[in-house]
Structures are given as C-alpha cells and as structure tokens.
C-alpha cells in the first residue's frame, strides 16, 4: 500500500529565506508523486509532479522537488520565500493505476516579513 | 469551462436532510474524482468515475453517500440523511484519463455544514 508522511505540520520562514518542506513516501512500486498547494478558501493547485523521468522536478513559482529513491523522499524546496507562498502544502502519491491520490496530512507554511 | 466547477460553493443544511453537490469537470476529461477534506481526517478519496461508470467506490464512508455521472460529464454526489460528521469540504477533480502521473485538476470545493 502507498502512504505519504509529511514530517512537519507547520513551517515558518522569513521572506527571502529558503523553504524546505519534507515528505517521505512508501510505495511497493515506482510511484508518481505530486506537490499541491492550497491557499486559504481556495482549491488545490498542482505545483509539480514526478513520474519516473528526471529526478529533479521543477514546478511553478520557483518551487522544485527531488525524488530520492534511496531515501524514499520527495522534499519540496524554494530558494527564496515570498509572502504569497504562505499556504498549505500537500505531498501526494498516486496509486499504480493513477487517479486515487493518497494525501499527506499537509504542511502549513508561514512567511514572516 | 476553463476549470473544474463545483456548486454550491457553500451549503448549510439541517441534520437529517439530503444534499446534492454538483461537479462539472474540465471539458474532455474522462476521469472524475470526489474527495473530502475535513479537520482531523485530511483529504480522503471517495469515488472515481471513468466515463459514466464508477470502478472504485471504496472511499464512500457509508451507504448514505452515493454519486452518479451522466453523459460522461457532470457528476452529482448525494448525501442522504446528513449527519454532523458529514460537515467538510467536498472536492471534485478531473483528469484527461486515469493514468499514473496524469495531472489531476481540482475544483474549489463545496463547503458543507450540517447543523
């Protein structure tokens, strides 16, 4: 069975400093992994996805994530945080047929001025 | 439309009443999904449609919950005899088809409050 663990429920950074949101996954096959962002009272927006191509995946708004099979990790990073990055971030794994997404519990990112 | 559209955006209902939530997926998307987001439970898969059939209903929490899809497009999620624990955001999503790695696009959700 697939599962996802987001290691931090809340991360706080200062504007202009790097962002690291940690995610570990468990899967019995080569997984498809995603990061989604949810701003307050908004729907989920896809930031980026990994589907067994390049292990370093670049997404929107300057975010990127690296798939590390040996560590079963898919951490999300951004070199410099912006105030508009404050939101809830979800690490997600897809089942091997696609569609049935398994969500992590989410990491709330706060950005201080 | 340009994105996944859901209605109503907000619904307050009395315990015991039935509610219907509607989802209009992105045009041409054959796969449609319902998820539920609630405090303490995170995001849970409810049901998946491929065309008008539902090969995976494993996430529906009880027989009070049902969903249908007609014309390979619009879907309706129905909750009968609502309970307070049904209060949540119900999210609909669609993708071009069901395949690993396909991008799944979400609507903004229907906020359901059962009082």
Give the whole-angstrom CA distance, residue B67 versus residue A39: 27
Task: Give how far B29 is from chain A: nearest CA, Å.
Answer: 12
Predicted confidence band of residue A2 (pLDDT cuts 50, 70, 90): confident
- Chain A residues touching B45 at Cβ < 8 A: 100-102
Task: Give how far A58 is from chain B: nearest CA, Å.
Answer: 15
Tokens representing B24 are 């209009």
Say whether residue B25 is in contact with chain A using an 8 A CB cutoff. no
Q: Over pLDDT 90: what percentage of chain A?
A: 76
Mean pLDDT by 10 residues, chain B (115 residues): 90 97 96 91 90 92 96 95 96 88 89 96
Are the C-beta atoms of A98 and B101 separated by less than 8 Å? yes
pLDDT at B101: 75
Give the whole-angstrom CA distance, residue B60 versus residue B46: 5
In the predicted structure, residue A31 carries a pLDDT above the cut 70: yes
Which of B4, B33, B109 is the closest to A99 by Cβ?
A: B33
Q: Which of residues 31-90 of B touch A (CB under 8 A)?
A: 31, 33, 35, 42-45, 48, 56
Are the C-beta atoms of B37 and B88 separated by less than 8 Å? yes
Task: Give how far B56 is from chain A: nearest CA, Å.
Answer: 9
Q: What is the pLDDT of residues B78-110, one digit of tens each?
A: 999 999 999 999 999 999 988 777 888 999 999
Average pLDDT, integer, range A14-32:
92
Tokens representing A48 are 């980026």
Burial of A33 (0-12, 13-18, 19+ CB in 10 A): buried
Are the C-beta atoms of A57 and A64 separated by less than 8 Å? yes
Are the C-beta atoms of B80 and B64 separated by less than 8 Å? yes
- Chain B residues touching A54 at Cβ < 8 A: none
Average pLDDT, integer, range A48-74:
92
Q: How many CB atoms lie within 10 A of CB A41?
A: 10
C-beta atoms of B95 and A97 within 8 A: no
Say if strands A10-14 and A107-112 run parallel, antiparallel, or are unpaired.
parallel
- Chain B residues touching A96 at Cβ < 8 A: 100
């Amino acid at each position: 069975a697939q599962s996802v663990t987001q290691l931090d429920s809340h991360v706080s950074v200062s504007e202009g400093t790097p962002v690291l949101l940690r995610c570990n996954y468990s899967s019995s096959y080569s997984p498809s992994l995603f990061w989604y962002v949810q701003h307050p009272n908004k729907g989920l927006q896809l930031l980026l996805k990994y589907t067994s191509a390049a292990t370093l995946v670049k997404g929107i708004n300057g975010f990127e994530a690296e798939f590390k099979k040996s560590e079963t990790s898919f951490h999300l990073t951004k070199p410099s945080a912006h105030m508009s990055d404050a939101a809830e971030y979800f690490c997600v794994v897809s089942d091997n047929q696609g569609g049935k997404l398994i969500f992590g519990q989410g990491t709330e990112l706060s950005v201080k001025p | 439309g340009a994105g996944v559209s859901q209605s109503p955006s907000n619904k307050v209902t009395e315990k015991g009443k039935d509610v219907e939530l509607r989802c209009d997926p992105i045009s041409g998307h054959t796969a449609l999904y319902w998820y539920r987001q609630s405090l303490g439970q995170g995001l849970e898969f409810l049901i998946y449609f491929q065309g008008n059939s539902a090969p995976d209903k494993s996430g529906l929490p009880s027989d009070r919950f049902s969903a249908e899809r007609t014309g390979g497009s619009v879907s309706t999620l129905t909750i009968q005899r609502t309970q307070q624990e049904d209060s949540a955001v119900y999210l609909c999503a669609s993708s071009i088809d069901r395949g690993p790695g396909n991008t799944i696009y979400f609507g903004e959700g229907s906020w359901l409050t059962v009082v």
